Amino acid sequence: MGLSERREREKLARKEQILDAARTLLFKRGLQATTINQIAKLSELSVGTLYLYYKNKEEIFAELEKEGFDLLYQQILEAENKAVTQDEKVVGIAFSYIDFSHNFKDYFDIINYFLSTPELLFPPVIKNRIDKTAGKILKVLVDVINSGIDCGHFRKVDPVKHAVVLWGSLHGLIHFKKMEETMLQNENYRDYVKYMLDNYLYNLKSGVAR
């Protein structure tokens, strides 16, 4: 192994050391309560060393958000690949997001936080990088809708707008889960997701010759 290769490996290992510490603190204490000093202490590095790899705390958080988006992207691809029909693909993608919010709650919370206030944390370069990663996820759904239109299963609609509307609906319904103990007592919020998806698919197929 050459000197340059060894240094590159050491650099990657050090960055992962920093991310491991930041990930632990974020999942344990939350975003607002995590500081660069805490990350440095847990990673057993000096604050100055952290700044050799990341310009600020926001860059570290951006890396973790990208981790979450990459993980979500893989979940969605798996769901889309397992399905056969366009309807099944839409439903599979939808519930992969619902399941992600439960099975990977910490990553979902990070994504949700930054979706709510991205301009408060990230400079344009970092925000654009994150938006590009998130765009890959939306494109999976857009491609499914386009495929359904091309084969005549779905009516001709704006696939991007319909994908965004579905994503927004899912995101909103996820936050209704907390109401299972209040206004939705004795009801499963997943039933509301199914109800929304039934109506969404009906709308997509409305007017298509059977």
Average of per-residue pLDDT across 62-79: 90
- pLDDT at residue 121, rounded to an integer: 61
State the burial class of residue 32 (Cβ atoms within 10 Å of its Cβ: 0-12, 13-18, 19+). Answer: exposed
What is the distance between the alpha carbons of residues 197 and 194, in angstroms, rounded to a whole number?
A: 5
Close Cβ partners of 11 (under 8 Å, ≥ 6 residues apart): 53
Q: Is the pLDDT of residue 9 over 70?
A: yes
Q: Which CATH superfamily is domain 58-205 in?
A: Tetracycline Repressor, domain 2 (1.10.357.10)
User: What six digits make up the tokens of 139?
Assistant: 């494109």
In CATH terms, are 1-54 and 58-205 the same topology? no
| CA 147 distance to own-chain centroid | 23
Tens of pLDDT, residues 86-107: 999 999 999 999 999 999 988 8
What is the distance between the alpha carbons of residues 24 and 10, in angstroms, rounded to a whole number?
A: 21
Tens of pLDDT, residues 119-173: 556 667 677 777 787 889 999 999 999 999 999 999 999 999 999 999 999 988 8
Under a CB-based contact definition with an 8 Å cutoff, are residues 22 and 30 in contact? no
Domain 1-54 has CATH 1.10.10.60: yes
What is the distance between the alpha carbons of residues 23 and 60, in angstroms, rounded to a whole number?
A: 9
Domain boundaries, the chain: 1-54, 58-205
Q: Is the pLDDT of residue 209 over 60?
A: no
Angle between helices 105-116 and 159-174 (to 10 degrees): 120
- pLDDT at residue 117, rounded to an integer: 62
Average of per-residue pLDDT across 170-196: 79
Under a CB-based contact definition with an 8 Å cutoff, are residues 93 and 76 in contact? yes
